[in-house]
Amino acid sequence: MDKIGKYEIKHFTKNRQNIVLILKEGKRRHNVHGLIDVDVTNGRNIIRDYKIKHNINISFTGWLIKCISQAVSEHKIINTSRQGRRNTISFDDVDIPIPVERTINDDQITMAYIIRKANTKSVLEITKEVRDIQKEKIDFKNHILGENLTSFEKIILSSPLFVKKIAIYLARKNALFRKKHIGTVGVTAIGMKGKFPGWAIPLSGATASTIVVGGINKKPGVVNNKIEIREYLHLTITVDHDIVDGGPLARFVDRLIELIENNYGLEKNIINNL
């Protein structure tokens, strides 16, 4: 009797090795996670209406990135990184790295793209940026999309694993290096890849903070003292507890929920921004 059965061996790609390095870096931190539900019913209705009435396909994830970047810009502690042992650096620009899934030779590859200064861009600008990068020509040598890579970056991306570990060490010690090459607040939207019923708890990564966009569920909610069926989005917010305490985290979450539930960035005159 064959106790093994059929199987397939695949090479553990450089792309997967890079992801492992980033996840190991996240495990070094004293992370704290916040799991929240946000009512996105009105925002999703506005996005649907624009698609029907104006043929404008606004990215739901792009809208969330706009809300997140605005909340972060108002609460800079979320956009703060360690600089060595004795200092921290708080950034004005909110640089948001996102994963972009692409297909090469029938293999699905996750690549990184950084939305620079997301807090200064409109929902439409972010939407266009994401749509454009999804069409960018790629090959197996690519790991970061949309960047004019320096010679140093090209060397690091094509180098052996031990050299990449040195680069990660440098990023750990230098917040400016980390922002330039990795960004500040990571956003990953696993709920956009299919039906995902709830939250995901990340190991975090090399960014100052990470937000995971989970699934959307319909459930009863109270609107004007009446019970209605609403659409609730699951978000997981992960921060470094060495930097962010419970009070600042709670105030950031309150502001983020307020922005999302009040449809921030989806103003009635958004059509005039085209």
96 belongs to a structural domain? yes
What average pLDDT does range 135-160 have in this prediction? 63
123 belongs to a structural domain? yes
Q: What are the tens digits of pLDDT across the range 41-67?
A: 999 999 999 888 888 889 999 999 999
- Rounded to the nearest integer, the mean pLDDT of the chain is 83
137 belongs to a structural domain? yes
Q: What are the tens digits of pLDDT across the range 207-262?
A: 889 999 988 989 898 888 899 999 999 999 999 898 999 999 999 999 999 999 99
CATH assignment at residue 46: 3.30.559.10
156 belongs to a structural domain? yes
Domain span at residue 224 reads 15-266
Is the CA virtual torsion 80, 254, 119, 149 positive or negative?
A: positive
**196's tokens:** 């995902």
For residues 15 and 216, which has the higher predicted lDDT (pLDDT)? 216
Distances in whole angstroms, Cα of residue 224 to Cα of each of 201, 221, 228 = 33, 10, 10
251 belongs to a structural domain? yes
Contacts of 32 (CB under 8 A, 6+ apart): 238, 239, 241, 244, 246, 249
For residues 225 and 22, which has the higher predicted lDDT (pLDDT)? 225
Least confident of 22-26, 99-103, 152-156, 199-203: 152-156
**193's tokens:** 């890849």
220 belongs to a structural domain? yes
Number of domains making up the chain: 1
Res 107 pLDDT > 90:
no
Res 193 pLDDT > 70:
no
Specify the pLDDT at position 105.
Answer: 66
Specify the pLDDT at position 139.
Answer: 59
24 belongs to a structural domain? yes
The pTM assigned to this predicted structure is 0.83
% of the chain at pLDDT higher than 70: 83
**24's tokens:** 């190991």
Measured distance CA(239)–CA(247) in Å, rounded: 12
45 belongs to a structural domain? yes
